[in-house]
Amino acid sequence: MKKQILKSGLWIAVFWTTSLLGEESIGRAANTVILDANGVRNLRIETVEAEAHRFETTLFAIGRIEAIPSNRSVLSSRIAGRVVELNAFEGDVVEAGDVLARVESRQMGNPPPVIDLKASQSGLVVDSHVRLGQPVEPNAELMDISDRSQMWAVARIPEQEAAMVEVGSIAYIRIPALGEELIRATLMRFGVDADRDAGTIEGIFQLENKSGRLRPGLRAEFSIVLEERLNVLAIPREAIQGDPARRIVFVKDFDLENAFVRVPVVLGETNDFVVEILSGIFPGDEVVTRGSYALGFVGGGNGVSLKEALDAAHGHEHNEDGSEITEGQKKARAMEEGHEHHEEDGDEGMNRGLLVYAGVVSVLLLFTAQSLWRKRKQAQG
């Protein structure tokens, strides 16, 4: 009973000592996910450093890539005749002045006169309406040539937000067919008419296309910049997890390798790339981007607790919540261990006494039994 009472008093002291550490260490234990090297590789964890930079408020819009109308020309014949030579076909790239076809005139002669049909501009033959030996007339279009060294990216801007956009606005344009590359462009003009059915107005951006990768009809995604603010702490959107009422991010532990801490954050404005952070993290924190969603489903059965990780990293023992063991806790533990040793010594002495007592009683019982046996023998004799 005394032993139980003493133990209870010691553990009460330990409890109140640990409580003085506050909720910070307890929260760290509950919100820390510890992986091994294989776990980090399997989740493909990537981090970025949170930093203050220029924050751009943007408007998202979708649209298409289109050829510039003025950069298109046709090939035609000035005389009636038939095609006797054809040097270019649909999909060929031609230079201005190249002879694309030769037409034999219907005029009399031996041989009849032949004229060269030359490209009026450099570009791509996007359509051909002529075949070898085909008769042609001066009013017929034989080939369409498009100069695609520059292209238009046409954004469909919602009517209710078009007032915030003006000529000269900057946009970051992503073409999904070309990957994650962003193209920076300037709004050069608006379309002539609004689309009544879609409720949009066209905003036209001109793009360089020296590589020829941009083609008419490709989908384009626009992040049109409306305003800019400096020194805003922001992180990539993919780092944000949790439900809308309680947003969190995972931050790389400052002390332990392969450990990540779940941190609640308060969000500000969001654009198409990053999110403003009002509170929760600080510049320099390494925030998990790739793999952050998967970290939210990693349970505690990874084999390594916060206490074990800290013990291994620091070379001394910690509490289960990861906090340092205080002097009060050390003293309480020493007192408990000393009391247990004292009780063990007392129990050992008691056990020796009981053995002696049992031996004496056994001898006395044996002696009494022998005396009774002798008396019985004498009475019988």
In order of their start, the domains of the chain are 23-53+232-314 (2.40.420.20), 58-68+149-229 (2.40.30.170), 69-146 (2.40.50.100)
Residue 69: is the preceding peptide bond cis (ω within 30°)? Answer: no
Tell me which residue of 120, 136, 25, 125 sits closest to 85, measured CA to CA.
136
Q: What is the pLDDT of residue 356?
A: 58
The pLDDT tens digits for 249-288 are 999 988 888 889 999 999 999 998 899 999 999 999 999 9
Those residues with Cβ within 8 angstroms of residue 6's Cβ, 6 or more apart along the chain or in another chain? 336, 339
**Gap between the Cα atoms of 66 and 206, Å rounded:** 10
Q: What is the pTM of this model?
A: 0.63
Compute the distance between CA of residue 276 and CA of residue 296 in angstroms, rounded to an integer.
Answer: 21
pLDDT, tens digit, 9 for 90 and up, residues 44-93 = 999 999 999 899 999 999 999 999 999 999 999 999 999 999 999 999 99
User: Over the stretch 344-380, which tens digit does the pLDDT of each residue have?
Assistant: 555 555 556 555 555 655 656 566 656 665 666 565 5
